[in-house]
Each structure stands twice: as C-alpha cells, then as structure tokens.
Amino acid sequence: MAVEMDKAAVRELIARRAEKEIESGYYVNLGIGMPTMVANYIDSDKEVVLQSENGLLGIGRSPYEEEVDPDLINAGKETVTASIGAAYCDSAESFAMIRGEHLDLAILGGMEVAENGDLANWMIPGKMIKGMGGAMDIVHGSKKVVIIMDHVNKHGDPKILKACRLPLTGKGVVDRIITERAVMDVTEEGLKLIEIAEGWTVDEIKASTEADLIVSDELMTIQSNT
C-alpha cells in the first residue's frame, strides 16, 4: 500500500491532477473548498476564464496577504483576485450563464458519488446549512462535471458507492471522479478505473470503493503538473 500523505499533500495532488481537465479557451466553475485550489495550478499558457456564481467572471489566483480585498470573494466567501479583463455581475446574470449551459467544465467537491453518476454534495441531514447553494444548477448546466474528493471519509469508509445515501445534488450528472488514489469515469457500462496513484494496486482501490469497477485496458498512473 502507498504511504499515506498528510492532508495538505493530498489536496495538492488532487488539485494538480484536476488542472489537467482544463483546456485553453474553457469557461470553468470551481466549487467551494478543495476545487478553489485548482486556480493556483492552472498552466499560464492556458487561456481560461473562471466563473463564480456570486457574480465574478474572471477569477485569478489566491491573493497574497497584501493583496487581500475583503469585498472580492468567491461563492465560498474566500478572498480571491480578479484576472485582467474580469467582469462583475449580479447573481441573476451569473446563474443565467450557468443555466444557459455556457460553462465548459465544473470542478466540484463531493460527499458521495454513485457508480451511475449521482452526486451528493450539498447537505448532511441534521446539520445546519446556509442553503442549497448553486451546485444543483451547476451540475445540470455544465458540459462536463468533474468531482474531486478524498477516496474515503474520515472513518475510512468508501465515498464512491453503488448508490448515494445522502440527499442528491443531481442524478447522473458526474462525468469523472478524481481522488488521491484513482481517476474514474462514469460510463454506460459502469464506473471505469482509468488511472491509479503510484504505490496503490487495483485490488486496494477496489477494496476502498463500494461501487463495482471496470478496469481500463489502458490503465495509467496518475500524472499531475508539478
């Protein structure tokens, strides 16, 4: 089994791998939490526009301490920078972009993903939440949805399941799942394992995944832009 990494290293590995999903010319929405880290690793040669549902089109990297502007935040209320040429709008116009299917890609976090592409990422029953947020619109309005998350929860239980147990954000909306252990695609035949992290075996990935896995004939090792 691979040596377990600390939390920061895991998040960086996942974010760097997720960056490879972004192509030049894309309009992209990054969800709150770990997905916001992806902005820090986007290749400078790529022309990418990051969209936030609270009304910023053109998010830049995370700010240095001296750059922090408390009025410039993303949907997760984290301070951000604005890229050259960024535009501001109200939430109604921002969601018109999303619902109008103008986003090429959404990279979101997940609590649970089912083998058929169902996603649960907006609430845990019994816990206080501030609202359902924009994820329900984003997963249906984006041309491609990639979920990035830990492979198992803090108790060591699988988060990639045969069927989600938590309330759904969307049915059959996920295209790809990226964890610190593997990359999987949702296909008509089932959940396909296409990449595996160095140090892990296929049997170990299967043991930590409740969903049935189809192993790609072209299984590769996860590569990230370090």
User: What confidence tens digit (pLDDT) does each residue in 51-64 have?
Assistant: 999 999 999 988 99
Give percent of the chain with pLDDT exceeding 70.
96
The pTM of the full predicted model, rounded to 2 decimals, is: 0.94
Q: Which residues are catalytic?
A: 53
Does the CA dihedral 91-92-97-101 come out positive or negative?
Answer: positive
Assigned CATH topology for domain 7-221: Glutaconate Coenzyme A-transferase (3.40.1080)
**CA-wise closest residue to 19 among 185, 223, 181, 198:** 223
pLDDT digit string, tens, across residues 28-43: 999 988 999 999 999 9
CA–CA distances in Å: residue 50 to residues 59, 74, 76, 105? 5, 10, 14, 10
pLDDT digit string, tens, across residues 132-163: 778 999 999 999 999 999 999 999 999 999 99
Q: Read off the pLDDT of each residue in 176-204 and give the average, rounded to a whole number.
A: 97
